[in-house]
């Protein structure tokens, strides 16, 4: 243990000075920071097992407050992020379901700001680590700001906000040596998973390709929690929110993600910035799932459990609008870094449920902003200001910018004609849904939250063979970094409850005893969970065009034009920067040299034809590595004429070679189709 590690080393005066502040927690009863012994640390205090979290829960508030203030000044979680401006338009009025005005008029463009992020790493970590991605949207509506603060995965690791600090402590760098950065591949994270099985479903998502997105523009977003829509008649529906990328859902492969961390740690944020600058505006359609109040208990899962999805086959996603990101920031710090989200920033017609993770977040987010942004006036920072006018009796505090003339700062008053005054609901005032709440004060979780395995099994059952192999490989990689064999064994035994085959395949690579269990906790499937069923589009795909002097101009020019018409971005890669000359004395500007560019920075490769060009490329050993690596990452590869000589093979899936009886139009279309497919996984099988 750490307290024995330096026992034989000679202590300096500084060591002795520090020793008095060390507290060893081995085999000690848990207490609050006031020394009060704690009887339970798993559940927040609620009004009944499925009821709301109570504000009087001093243990939860102390634990969460301390957690919220553990980092100064960067965010404790979601520290590394990147954002952009845009607008949202609803397709059709949702007045039947919600009072929210921004969801009623299709002609209105509601301004938005979106911040994408990773969860575990610091601001200095890489974009392409295996991690959950944050997907937070601030709608600047005429009724006030509405924040939809979610992730690119629809579930989470814990069911109760009381457990959130524990999860983050476990996944963050280990406190004794601050290692590893931005990775879950270490002992404390997997020890947490094995001992907190509510995390099992989310771990399946985190080990899937969803955790290494190709682009922020090509990943889904989810509100995670169950919210409420409330209409003007006071009628409510339970609702979940989805963001569906118009370009489809696409990911990196693990080897590619690791290499990108070194080649370009800003890969995802650069991709977003470049796309917007080029006018290729990212688009996401907003989808909603709705359940009537009387249908709350009609399912074999609890709709308030944040570790559960609502399967789309049972509760279809209705597409109701579209968000377009069309403007980059003017200043990263002033906008992306200082923006303050909070799931409690709502507008009339959107309300909360008793999801215990959501209930805790409603406290935590404001508390966090107080530390990060220097006080209670963070709403006055320009990026956070609502477009709706602000009038209340709040005054002073650090960084106050509003100047409120006059002596009155209280309610009720006569000196200012009782202004500002409350507004009834029929005039736009916010009113909470009048849900009946009753129950004994108790630290407990509802029995309906106790199923930790069936949806994890459904996720596994829904994966293609390729996705299953990626899942197994991710588990094996992560667990190979875990030093404790006991923890590795515990994980294998835990995931045997999900699926026996999954656990056995994990066990094969990490030196543990294979489980005896067979079968799965569920036989259900949900096709929407597989990324193989996503949209396929060539739009904004980046193709590396490998060419040297003497490339065959007539062929290459025709293909480049066809790629451009399909929305594909082609960039020339050659041994040297500058310009190259074709066989017809045409010239192409080289955007990348092989010294500074690698195949991982592109979605596909096209090798130009021409004897001189190919011979020149052959003289650069990096060219052969470039093509080979793209092939190993299952990427589309095209070749014109003599360019085929640089390919590992001319016949594998995804390889497009110009045929003798083929027109350039036909070749170009086959190449575009190959690029749209994203990866050609059948090379593996």
Same domain (yes/no): 300, 376: yes
Same domain (yes/no): 556, 473: no
Output the pLDDT for position 7. 43
Q: Is 245 exposed, middle or buried (0-12, 13-18, 19+ CB in 10 A)?
A: buried
Q: β-strand 592-593 against 569-574: which pairing, if any? A: parallel
- pTM for the model stands at 0.92
Is the distance from CB of 324 to CB of 86 less than 8 angstroms? yes
% pLDDT > 90, the chain: 80
**What's the whole-number mean pLDDT along residues 60-82?**
84
Same domain (yes/no): 197, 286: yes
Q: Per-residue b/e over 73-98, b at no fewer than 16 CB within 10 Å?
A: eebbbbbbbbbbbbbbbbeeebeebb
Cα 311 from chain centre: 19
Same domain (yes/no): 193, 309: yes
CA 500 – CA 521 distance, rounded (Å) = 9
| Residue 579 phi, psi dihedral angles, 5° rounding | -130, 150
Inform me whether the pLDDT recorded for 12 exceeds 90: no
Return the higher-pLDDT residue of 499 and 11. 499
CA 482 – CA 187 distance, rounded (Å) = 5
Same domain (yes/no): 237, 134: yes
CA 546 – CA 565 distance, rounded (Å) = 20
**What's the whole-number mean pLDDT along residues 286-291?**
98
Which of 532, 548, 575 is at the close of a domain? 532
Same domain (yes/no): 109, 248: yes
**Residue 548 resides in a domain:** yes
Same domain (yes/no): 361, 495: no
Output the pLDDT for position 67. 84
pLDDT digits (tens, 9 = 90+) for 164-195: 999 999 999 999 999 999 999 999 999 999 99
**Confidence class of residue 59 from pLDDT cuts 50, 70 and 90?**
confident
Output the pLDDT for position 6. 43
CA 373 – CA 400 distance, rounded (Å) = 12
Distances (CA, A) of 78 to 134, 342, 354, 367: 7, 13, 24, 16
CATH number at residue 519: 1.20.1370.20
Domain that holds residue 480: 458-532
Q: Which residues are catalytic?
A: 78, 151
Which of 532, 554, 582 is at the close of a domain? 532
The tally of domains found in the chain comes to 3
User: Which of 126-135, 411-420, 467-476, 545-554 shows the lowest mean pLDDT across its residues?
Assistant: 411-420
Same domain (yes/no): 54, 166: yes
Residues 6+ apart with CB under 8 A from 504: 514, 515
Same domain (yes/no): 208, 247: yes
Output the pLDDT for position 33. 77
CATH number at residue 626: 3.40.50.880
Same domain (yes/no): 648, 517: no
**Residue 301 resides in a domain:** yes
pLDDT digits (tens, 9 = 90+) for 599-651: 999 999 999 999 999 999 999 999 999 999 999 999 999 999 999 999 999 99
Which range has the top average pLDDT, 377-386, 419-428, 500-509? 500-509
Output the pLDDT for position 5. 42
**What's the whole-number mean pLDDT along residues 345-353?**
95
**What's the whole-number mean pLDDT along residues 413-420?**
90
Q: Which of 504, 624, 634, 112 shows the shortest CA–CA distance to 345? A: 112
Which of 331, 360, 384 is at the close of a domain? 384
Inform me whether the pLDDT recorded for 203 exceeds 50: yes
Inform me whether the pLDDT recorded for 9 exceeds 70: no
**What's the whole-number mean pLDDT along residues 484-504?**
97
Output the pLDDT for position 8. 47
**Residue 17 resides in a domain:** no
Q: Which of 198, 195, 237, 167 shows the shortest CA–CA distance to 446? A: 198
**Confidence class of residue 4 from pLDDT cuts 50, 70 and 90?**
very low
Residues 6+ apart with CB under 8 A from 190: 184, 478, 479, 482, 487, 488, 491
Inform me whether the pLDDT recorded for 502 exceeds 60: yes
**What's the whole-number mean pLDDT along residues 462-478?**
97
Inform me whether the pLDDT recorded for 258 exceeds 60: yes
Is the distance from CB of 511 to CB of 452 less than 8 angstroms? no
**What's the whole-number mean pLDDT along residues 2-30?**
63
Cα 236 from chain centre: 29
Q: Which of 436, 349, 310, 315 shows the shortest CA–CA distance to 50? A: 436
């Amino acid at each position: 243990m750490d307290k024995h590690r330096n026992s034989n080393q000679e202590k300096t005066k500084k060591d002795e000075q520090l020793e008095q502040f060390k507290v060893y927690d081995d085999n000690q009863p848990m207490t609050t920071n006031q020394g009060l012994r704690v009887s339970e640390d798993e559940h927040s205090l609620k009004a009944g097992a499925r009821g709301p979290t109570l504000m009087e829960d001093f243990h939860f508030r102390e634990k969460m407050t301390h957690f919220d203030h553990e980092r100064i000044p960067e965010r404790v979680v979601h520290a590394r992020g990147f954002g952009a401006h845009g607008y949202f338009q609803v397709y059709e009025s949702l007045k039947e379901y919600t009072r929210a005005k921004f969801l009623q008029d299709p002609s209105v463009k509601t301004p938005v700001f979106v911040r994408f992020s990773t969860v575990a790493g610091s601001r200095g970590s890489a974009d392409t680590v295996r991690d959950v991605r944050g997907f937070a949207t601030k709608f600047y509506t005429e009724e006030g700001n509405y924040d939809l603060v979610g992730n690119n995965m629809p579930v989470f690791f814990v069911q109760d906000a009381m457990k959130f600090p524990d999860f983050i402590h476990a996944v963050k760098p280990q406190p004794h040596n601050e290692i590893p950065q931005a990775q879950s591949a270490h002992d404390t994270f997997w020890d947490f998973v094995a001992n907190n099985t509510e995390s099992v479903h989310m771990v399946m998502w985190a080990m899937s390709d969803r955790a290494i997105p190709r682009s922020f523009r090509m990943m889904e977003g989810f509100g995670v929690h169950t919210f409420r829509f409330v209409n003007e008649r006071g009628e409510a529906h339970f609702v979940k929110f989805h963001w569906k990328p118009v370009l489809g859902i696409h990911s990196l492969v693990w080897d590619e993600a690791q290499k990108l961390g070194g080649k370009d740690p800003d890969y995802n944020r650069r991709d977003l910035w470049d796309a917007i600058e080029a006018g290729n505006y990212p688009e996401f359609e907003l989808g909603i799932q709705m359940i009537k109040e009387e249908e709350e208990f009609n399912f074999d899962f609890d709709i308030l459990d944040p570790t559960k999805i609502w399967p789309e086959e049972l509760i279809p996603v209705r597409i109701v609008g579209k968000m377009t990101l069309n403007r980059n920031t003017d200043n990263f710090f002033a906008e992306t870094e200082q923006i303050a989200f909070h799931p409690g920033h709502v507008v009339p017609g959107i309300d909360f449920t008793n999801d215990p993770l959501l209930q805790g977040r409603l406290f935590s987010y404001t508390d966090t902003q107080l530390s990060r942004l220097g006080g209670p006036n963070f709403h006055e920072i320009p990026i956070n200001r609502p477009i709706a006018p602000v009038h209340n009796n709040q005054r002073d505090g650090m960084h106050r910018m509003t100047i409120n003339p006059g002596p009155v700062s209280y309610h009720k008053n006569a000196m200012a004609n009782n202004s500002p005054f409350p507004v009834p609901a029929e005039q736009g005032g916010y009113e909470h849904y009048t849900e009946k709440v009753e129950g004994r004060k108790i630290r407990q979780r509802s029995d309906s939250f106790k199923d930790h395995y069936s949806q994890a099994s459904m996720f596994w059952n829904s994966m293609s063979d390729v996705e299953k192999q990626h899942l197994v490989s991710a588990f094996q990689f992560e667990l190979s970094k875990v030093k404790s064999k006991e923890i590795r064994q515990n994980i294998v035994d835990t995931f045997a409850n999900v699926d026996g085959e999954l656990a056995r395949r994990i066990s094969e690579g990490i030196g543990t005893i294979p489980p005896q269990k067979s079968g799965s906790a569920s036989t259900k499937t949900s096709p929407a969970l597989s990324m193989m069923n996503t949209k396929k589009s060539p739009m904004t795909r980046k193709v590396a065009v490998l060419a040297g002097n003497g490339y065959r101009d007539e062929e290459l020019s025709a293909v480049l034009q066809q790629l451009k018409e399909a929305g594909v971005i082609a960039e020339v890669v050659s041994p040297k920067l500058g310009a190259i000359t074709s066989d017809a004395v045409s010239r192409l500007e080289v955007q990348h040299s092989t010294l500074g560019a690698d195949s991982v920075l592109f979605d596909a490769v096209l090798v130009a034809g021409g004897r001189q060009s190919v011979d020149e490329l052959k003289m650069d050993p990096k060219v052969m590595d470039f093509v080979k690596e793209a092939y190993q990452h299952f990427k589309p590869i095209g070749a014109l004429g003599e360019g085929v000589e640089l390919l590992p093979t001319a016949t594998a899936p995804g390889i497009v070679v110009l045929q003798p009886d083929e027109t350039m139009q036909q070749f170009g279309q086959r190449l575009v189709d190959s690029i749209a497919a994203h990866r050609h996984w059948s090379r593996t099988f």
